[in-house]
Amino acid sequence: MMILGLLAFYLLLVVLGVWRISHDFTEHEGPWGIYGHVRRGVKLWVEVQLDDSTYEQPVDHPLYWLYSGIDCPRCVSFGVSLVVLVLATSLLTFPLVIWWGVAGLVSWLDRTKTDD
């Protein structure tokens, strides 16, 4: 029974870590502006693909989901969760997952506080 509790706690940390990374990537510039540079680079690349395509509407292009999804925390969390899942199953990266989970919990708690 204790193992199930530990697994549930670890899963909670993984979920919070995915939330934190996805939220930070889509809402902030990130450390050294990395997230912002990646977002703008992806959007610029997709814009070039859309401009060079023969599709009448940009929405019809197969890469349009990437253009619109790069700013969506739910969309980004799909890919982030895969990476975190791979990292979460390794004993070597266990501390990293705990770090992301704790950071996610702190970020979530900070967003839920009310200003008095």
Could you read off the pLDDT of 7-42 as tens digits, one per residue? 788 888 888 888 888 988 999 998 899 999 999 999
Question: Is 26 part of a structural domain of the chain?
Answer: no
Write the CB contacts of 55 (distance below 8 Å, at least 6 apart in sequence): 61
Distance between CA atoms of 64 and 47, rounded to whole angstroms?
9
pLDDT at 32: 94
Q: Could you tell me if 66 and 42 are in contact, meaning their C-beta atoms sit under 8 angstroms apart? A: yes
Tens of pLDDT, residues 80-95: 888 888 887 877 777 8
Q: What is the pLDDT of residues 42-76, one digit of tens each?
A: 999 999 998 888 888 888 888 888 888 898 888 89
> Which of the four pLDDT bands, split at 50, 70 and 90, describes residue 115?
low
What's the total number of domains in the chain? 1
For residue 52, is it within any domain?
yes
Write the CA distances from 39 to 24, 30, 50, 61, integer angstroms: 12, 11, 16, 19
- Which pLDDT band holds residue 116 (cuts at 50, 70, 90)? low
Crossing angle of helices 94-112 and 73-88, in 10° steps, is: 150
Q: Percent of the chain scored above 70 by pLDDT?
A: 96
Residue 63 lies in a domain: yes
d(CA 31, CA 85): 23
Alpha carbon 8 to chain centroid distance?
A: 21
**Does the residue 46 lie in any domain?**
yes
Residue 46 lies in domain: 35-95
Helix (H, G, I), strand (E, B) or coil at 20: helix
